[in-house]
Amino acid sequence: MSTSSSPTAPDSGDGKADSAQLKALQAALADQLAAVYGYGVVGGRVDAARKSEALAAYDAHRARRDELARSVKDLGGTPVVAAAGYALPFAVPDSAAAVRLAAELEERVAGVYSDLVRATSGARRASAATALRDAAVRAVRWSGESVAFPGLAERTAAAGPTAPAAPSASTAPRT
């Protein structure tokens, strides 16, 4: 799920570092767009007892999406746009599946924020670390399980053959 392949120092001030930051920002933005879509599905299927939690997560992802779009523009890029629809990783016929989808969305978002932490510095890195933490906390709330280092590829690899391959299904446009 890694989006950055270069260990270039983010604060070196060269074009290569800006390119790595922009690539990671765009990947995080694309995943946030998919998460916003996914939470539309979650909100439509989750039990009434968890609707407010789904709405809060939806609002949080929308705010992060907007922040990332501004950051992409600040680096001179054009923010990626949302697809008309996204392929879900599995069918969501009921509340239990909606809860699983919410946990999956948060785990995937944590992964791209992990990449963004690595690719940035300063205020952007702090913001990415906060977003990673927030996604990890929401993932635990939805799934009831935690991991030592949320967002790391090793966790996805350890999950076995059901783990999504890059690019993640949450960011793949529906055709």
pLDDT tens string 32-87: 999 999 999 999 999 999 999 999 999 999 999 999 999 999 999 999 999 999 99
What mean pLDDT do residues 13-42 have?
A: 90
Q: Where does residue 129 rank: exposed (0-12), middle (13-18), buried (19+ CB within 10 A)?
A: middle
Report whether 143 contacts 103 (CB < 8 A): yes
pLDDT, position 146: 81
Output DSSP code: residue 174.
P
Residue 89: how many other CB atoms lie within 10 Å: 18
14 pLDDT band, cuts 50/70/90, is low
Please write the tens of the pLDDT for every residue from 125-159: 999 999 999 999 999 999 998 877 777 755 444 44
| pLDDT of 165 over the 80 cut | no
Q: How many Å apart are CA 27 and CA 39, to the nearest integer?
A: 18
pLDDT, position 16: 67
pLDDT, position 172: 46
Task: Return the closest-CA partner of residue 58 out of 83, 80, 25, 32.
Answer: 32
Region label for 92, one of left (φ > 0), alpha (ψ between -120 and 50) or beta (otherwise):
beta
Q: How many Å apart are CA 97 and CA 143, to the nearest integer?
A: 11
Task: Return the closest-CA partner of residue 122 out of 55, 77, 71, 48.
Answer: 71
Q: In sequence order, what are the residues at sequence separation of 6 or more whose Cβ sits closer than 8 angstroms to the Cβ of residue 173?
A: 83, 84, 85, 86, 87
Report the Cα–Cα distance between both ends of the chain, in Å, rounded.
Answer: 21
| pLDDT of 11 over the 60 cut | no
